[in-house]
């Protein structure tokens, strides 16, 4: 029996049946937690840090793009902090609105409806937070145009950044 040697030497520090069974069940669940846990934890931490950096850079870039879109439509550049607040509030309000839309509709119509709701919510936030030069609201129509220009600039930047990433990672894969 494989347990014979364990029984006779358990007092000398050999592996007992319980310890052997515990180690075997741990290996069956996914391996030893003593050797792989720090490596996986480090990889997970690096991944979460990269996601956090991408979100922060995305918010900062989105605020800059919104400021430029506002400048193109209205004629002057708003405060960067107000544009940053508008972007953050738009993302929060759009997330809440998309949850509500997701509860109401299902399927592909829900995706299109959530896009429209996100556009309208973004225009409302732009109208309320980014004021004209004299301190009044710019109006919902102009806010919709600002939001449309913002979305077009964002799509163009996304395509450019995506193309750069495809060239970069494509060249890396080609040389492997």
- Give the pLDDT confidence of 8-30 residue by residue, as tens digits: 444 555 667 777 777 777 776 66
At 94-142, the pLDDT tens digits run: 888 888 887 877 766 667 787 888 899 999 999 999 998 888 999 999 9
Mean pLDDT throughout 64-79?
94
Q: What is the pLDDT of residue 32?
A: 52
Predicted structure pTM score: 0.70
> Other C-beta atoms within 10 Å of 123: how many?
21
Question: In the structure encoding, which two tokens stand for residue 53, read together?
Answer: 């950096």
For residues 73 and 142, is the Cβ–Cβ distance under 8 A? yes
| Three-state SS annotation for the chain | CCCHHHHHCHHHCCCCHHHHHHHHHHHHHHCCHHHHHHHHHHHHHHHHHHHHHHHHHHHHHHHHHHHHHHHHHHCCCCCHHHHHHHHHHHHHHHHHHHHHHHHHCCCHHHHHHHHHHHHHHHHHHHHHHCCCCCCCCCCHHHHHHHHHHHHHHHHHHHHHHHHHHHHHHHHHHHCC
């Amino acid at each position: 029996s494989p347990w014979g040697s364990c029984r006779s030497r358990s007092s000398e520090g050999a592996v007992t049946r319980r310890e052997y069974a515990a180690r075997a069940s741990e290996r069956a669940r996914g391996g030893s937690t003593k050797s792989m846990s720090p490596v996986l934890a480090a990889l997970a931490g690096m991944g979460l840090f990269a996601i956090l950096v991408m979100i922060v850079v995305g918010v900062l870039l989105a605020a800059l793009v919104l400021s430029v879109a506002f400048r193109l439509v209205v004629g002057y550049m708003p405060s960067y902090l107000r544009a940053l607040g508008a972007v953050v509030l738009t993302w929060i309000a759009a997330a809440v609105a998309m949850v509500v839309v997701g509860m109401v509709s299902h399927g592909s119509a829900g995706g299109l409806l959530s896009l429209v709701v996100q556009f309208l919510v973004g225009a409302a936030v732009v109208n309320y937070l980014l004021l004209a030069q004299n301190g009044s609201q710019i109006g919902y129509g102009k806010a919709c145009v600002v939001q449309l220009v913002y979305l077009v600039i964002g799509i163009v930047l996304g395509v450019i950044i995506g193309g750069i990433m495809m060239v970069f990672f494509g060249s890396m894969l080609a040389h492997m």
